Every structure is written in structure tokens, then in C-alpha cells.
Amino acid sequence: MARTEELLTQNRDPVLGELSWRTSEWVGNIEFGPHRVRLLIDLDDEDHSRERQIESIAYAKALLPKVLKNEAELRRQAAEEIAEAAGSEASEEDRRRYASEAEAAAAAMEAQVLCIGFPEGGYLECRDATQAFYGASTVVIRFDDEGNYEEAEVDFE
């Protein structure tokens, strides 16, 4: 493991912006669609060397455009999966209503945090801007290392 003085403490990147090192992750803010969101680049393993720090930034720069391109689809798939899960215990009428509202629910999701988990994908934390679908809960949308949808969950706070 690298000595603390060997680690980078900050990084300025033209794509990712200003990043600060905090224990095991890079932290910054980034334009994500129409919103500014918190960016986390998390090094999943125990090797927090300078080399791994640099590799994690390169990985995030390569993955970011894929996630941005797929962002609407990620939200749509999450809304559909959540509607299906909610409908599994509901009446037939409620199931139809949940399914019909999935598109509006996806549109209401507003990104708050983008976490890129080096080297294996990451997740997007969203809030319901209208609070009509998920209230004050956080929707966590997980994606793979190509920016493709994996799964979603609602984190009831």
C-alpha cells in the first residue's frame, strides 16, 4: 500500500472537474443532464495507491459518457421494475395503474449522486422531484461497467 504522502489529494480533469481524495474515493460535482450532481469514484479494493487513483479516474472518464447516454433508459427500467414489484402484492387495478405511471415516474426521477465503483459499474441515486411516486425516498439504480441497467431499489429513509 502506498504511503499517504504518495497519494494524490486533488485532481483537475476536463471531463470530471475538480476531484478531492477522501480516504478511499474521489469526490466532486458534475453536470449530469440538466442537473449538477455529486460525483463519487469509489475504489472498491484495498489498493489505494497513486496508480489505482489514476486508473480510477480514467475508468470514470470512459464510463461517464455511457451512463449519460443511457440515463433515460436507466430511469425507465428502474421505474418499470419498481412498479412491477409494487404491483406483485396489489390488486389487478393497482397493477395496471402502476404500469401506466412508470413513464411519468421515470421522468420525475432527478439525479442527486452518481457513484462510479472502480472497476465494476456503479449506481445513480435519484429523488422523486414531484414526490408523487416515491415520496422522499431515494431510488438507487445500479448499472454495469458498460453503463447498462442491472437493478433498482427504493431506499425508504
Span 67-79, pLDDT tens digits: 999 999 999 999 9
pLDDT at 20: 97
* Residue ranges of the chain whose pLDDT lies below 50: 1-3
Residue 131 Cα distances to 21, 30, 103, angstroms:
33, 24, 15
Domain ranges of the chain: 4-70+108-155
> Residue 2: what pLDDT?
45
- Please give the pLDDT value at position 105: 94
**Model confidence, pTM:** 0.90
Q: Give the pLDDT of residue 145.
A: 95
For residue 45, the number of C-alpha atoms closer than 13 Å in the C-beta half-sphere is 12
Q: What is the pLDDT of residue 99?
A: 86
